[in-house]
Structure 1
């Protein structure tokens, strides 16, 4: 399409990161930084705390020497949810002989340590499934938010979708901090994600459409580094405040102010062109050229002027397209997507790649707080390793291509995760090392998938299709918070599950086209041509 060629030529003249790009990227990086905290906040909202059975007949004693008499041990530690049955004993209260050690009973009541957690506030001790359900409910909201935000973004504009989603993040997150019971907390976990989690994907799409092919990988790296900084900040704030309610109020309040982006953020030029709003797109490009101190050549702008003269998009004198024409065009595009076997297959494969990334990525992060040592430090380390992983992604994607990087990192992730099964339990540092390496490799894969999926779908439906893949992929992130429950069956079962899925994903990558240095396709026909073109620099 002429407009695609013209836009990429203009973006090349503007430069990948001039003043205009830097300002807009800075605006986009703020909600992305916040999204880094919001995606994993449930890990610290309902963090595990120490608790034990309430042994009413002994609680009045000043010392705790009786605990070994009243509570059985497992792996040299007092059991959290069991106690020995009492005897009718007239001797010394709470002595060894005061309890029937052949009878082990579940707790009637619990005594919690002096720690802050929703587990304490809502009495969730000995109900691990309820604790894990918080994360699953939060991530299940993504099944709604990503398609919903994608539809709003593709139909009404990127900046509207971003602003509204961020506002919903802030409002629902702050309200959740005032939860008076467990059901209220679950409800707002779901609503916050369902109405606001699409802010990240929207900001990502705007960022990818802001630069040309050569700038996408570096832009993607910036985005991922800020997301990681959000993850690390989450752990730091949790460690500092030691109060889950205060934590929520501090991190969610800033999201409310992103609604101001409706007035200060520029709309995506590529989206405006896809809607036939050529004059608005031209005005933004001229503004960008002025800010970047670049003189755009008439030759570069010519395709936009020609489209405007021809009335492409059936717009009015301002380049706006009537709603009836927009709706017909969008329905036509959607029908073409459904009719294209190439695009359908691509959506299915990309969705599975996303499931694998979210399952392994989130699973490793969540299980890191269960490792020996300081849970905040462990979480920070597992998050921090994403920064070098993203810079490695920057170096290898444009050098080796998307497919080689994806296959290599999926296989490496599988091997590292499965190797955890062979590490003895007392080798805690080796476990942490393998966790870090596994997180490193799956982060490279995740970053590659995000940029790859944005390159294989057309502009007219890019965010909607990306949202479909991402929302289906959230099956993985919804199941990830439940993986600690697998440890009750076999200690390394979560790691085996991570590795198995990664191996299967590596095989499916072979069915997809290479997109290195290819302009973003604007139409479904152009997207289909990616699979039909002569295959070079690929495995297949």
Structure 2
């Protein structure tokens, strides 16, 4: 009985605990409900409603208060999609910058007139030989006086004739040195615009000092200094003019720069006619470089690509906004710039690859070009092509003094004849591509000069040889124009000017040798020019095509692209 009573007691206790748990469970529900409804004061309830409404509004408005992450794209994409590839801004910038090419033509081709051999005459009525060599100095005189040129002032004839070529070679040697130095400086801290200002000031000062030369050797030294500045003008102006232009318009724009150079040669001929003495000619052709720095360059913007590779993204974006505004467009909100090998969404402060990319993008040198397999062979081929092209182009241009006709008219015709070559090349550039066009123009020049070597130099054959020379310079002028845009597209932004400087050095080396080839006379120049043209065509065959290809900013970008091509 006692055991039954204990069992009943335990069962009863168990039932009571069960009912207690049920009451507790049931009590939680009313308590929870009461917390919301029954046991909450009106003021507390209103506060909770307000808080709930605030949370809802915050969720709805968060997209406007906190915009989505900024869209990042390269300069080419931003120009193509939003700012405009070639509008009013690029046209104004291009024309103002390329004015420097006209001034470079003054400094480069002034030697044709300053170092010319003026007409002379015998003082006696007897027979007069074709050359004054061997005639007593008292038996003849210069028709225009001794102040007409350096040749007449310092007697650079006969055995001293080599000094004319030496002074011309000194100028091109200076160009070779200046192109290398300013190619590097414009890629580094000095920038494209800063480098262009420095070389123009140097040209103005050295040109005026050249006009004051008391002796031949000082004249040659100052021509070296003048060439040092002139060597940097072309490449700095070219890169500065073409980098803000969109990819589909950059080829034609780059080709158009040579119109300014050829136009400068034609203008120079008129200036030389108005100022027939060599000293006054140097002054008149040098001062415009200073005026360019003072009156034109302040209205030219620095390259946004240079700002970008120097990690000055805000400055680059300001220029891109100016481009869009002037072109009648607007950049989307929240858009920003990136280098071509950066990935969207990466944070520069927390991503080691982005930091390495930025450090790499700050500056580059020709050593980086040689070190990279993606650019090494491109550089070697371009060095050879630029060398042979310069030998032919400058050789045929300087040969105008041997035609024994009106020098001023010949120079004008020579410069004007180059313009159709530029136009035809510009039209065909984006239709056939850089490589086929370069190969064809080099082959045309080489074959025509080879024919000129095979024909005679008397009678009708003299005219045939002249035609061969005209066709040769037509083809080489087209290729010379193409080389700048081709070279610029072959190398990334970080080393573009360094590469342009190096190939320009090779070009100037060819220009140094060109006067020596011309001096050989007879058929030798045409033989050399023909061989150079054909060799240049063969080298062009091994270059890659760059038409409609991205304009890379860093070495990593082009190396990744080349690696992807190998995988494909």
TM-score by length of 1: 0.83
- Residue 425 of structure 1 deviates from its aligned partner by 2.5
Match of 1:130 in 2: 163
Map 1:254-403 → 2, pairs under 5 A: 254-260=288-294, 263-298=298-333, 301=336, 303=338, 310-311=347-348, 336-403=368-435
Is 1:21 the counterpart of 2:90? The answer is yes
- Residue 16 of structure 1 deviates from its aligned partner by 2.9
**Aligned mates of 1:331, 1:290 — CA distance in 2:** 30
Map 1:176-187 → 2, pairs under 5 A: 176-187=210-221
Match of 1:8 in 2: 76
- Residue 79 of structure 1 deviates from its aligned partner by 3.4
Q: What is the DSSP-based 3-state SS (H/G/I as helix, E as strand, rest coil) of the residue aligned with 2:109?
A: coil
Say if 2:310 and 2:362, in contact at 8 Å, map to a contact too. no
Match of 2:35 in 1: none
CA distance change for structure 1 residues 65 and 331 in 2, over 3 Å: closer, same or farther? closer
Question: CA RMSD for the aligned pairs?
Answer: 2.9
Q: What is the DSSP-based 3-state SS (H/G/I as helix, E as strand, rest coil) of the residue aligned with 1:112?
A: strand
Map 1:65-80 → 2, pairs under 5 A: 65-66=125-126, 68=127, 77-80=129-132
Match of 2:464 in 1: 430
Match of 1:163 in 2: 197
The equivalent position to 1:500 in structure 2, one of 515, 522, 531, is 531
Match of 2:184 in 1: 151
**Aligned mates of 2:357, 2:538 — CA distance in 1:** 42
CA distance change for structure 1 residues 22 and 452 in 2, over 3 Å: closer, same or farther? same
Structure ID, larger Rg: 2
Say if 2:108 and 2:230, in contact at 8 Å, map to a contact too. no
Say if 1:456 and 1:527, in contact at 8 Å, map to a contact too. no
- Residue 361 of structure 1 deviates from its aligned partner by 0.8
Is 1:451 the counterpart of 2:485? The answer is yes
Q: What is the DSSP-based 3-state SS (H/G/I as helix, E as strand, rest coil) of the residue aligned with 1:48?
A: coil
Please list every run of 5 or more consecutive structure 1 residues that lacks an aligned counterpart in the other structure.
54-58, 72-76, 84-106, 315-320, 536-540
**Aligned mates of 2:345, 2:205 — CA distance in 1:** 41
**Aligned mates of 2:410, 2:109 — CA distance in 1:** 14
The equivalent position to 2:248 in structure 1, one of 176, 200, 214, is 214
Map 1:98-137 → 2, pairs under 5 A: 111-115=140-144, 116-126=148-158, 127-137=160-170
Which structure dedicates a bigger proportion of its chain to helix? 2
Please list every run of 5 or more consecutive structure 2 residues that lacks an aligned counterpart in the other structure.
1-69
**Aligned mates of 1:37, 1:221 — CA distance in 2:** 20
CA distance change for structure 1 residues 328 and 309 in 2, over 3 Å: closer, same or farther? closer
Match of 2:66 in 1: none
C-alpha offsets along residues 165-191 of structure 1, whole Å, 9 cap, x if unaligned? Answer: 011111111111121111121111000
Q: What is the DSSP-based 3-state SS (H/G/I as helix, E as strand, rest coil) of the residue aligned with 2:125?
A: coil
- Residue 410 of structure 1 deviates from its aligned partner by 0.9
TM-score by length of 2: 0.79
- Residue 247 of structure 1 deviates from its aligned partner by 1.5
Q: Which moved more, 1:523-532 or 1:474-483?
A: 523-532
The equivalent position to 1:35 in structure 2, one of 77, 85, 104, is 104
Say if 1:369 and 1:379, in contact at 8 Å, map to a contact too. no
C-alpha offsets along residues 138-171 of structure 1, whole Å, 9 cap, x if unaligned? Answer: 1110121001111210112110000110111111
- Residue 327 of structure 1 deviates from its aligned partner by 8.1
Match of 1:240 in 2: 274
- Residue 467 of structure 1 deviates from its aligned partner by 0.4
**Aligned mates of 2:139, 2:250 — CA distance in 1:** 53
**Aligned mates of 1:34, 1:166 — CA distance in 2:** 9
Match of 2:556 in 1: 525
Match of 1:411 in 2: 443
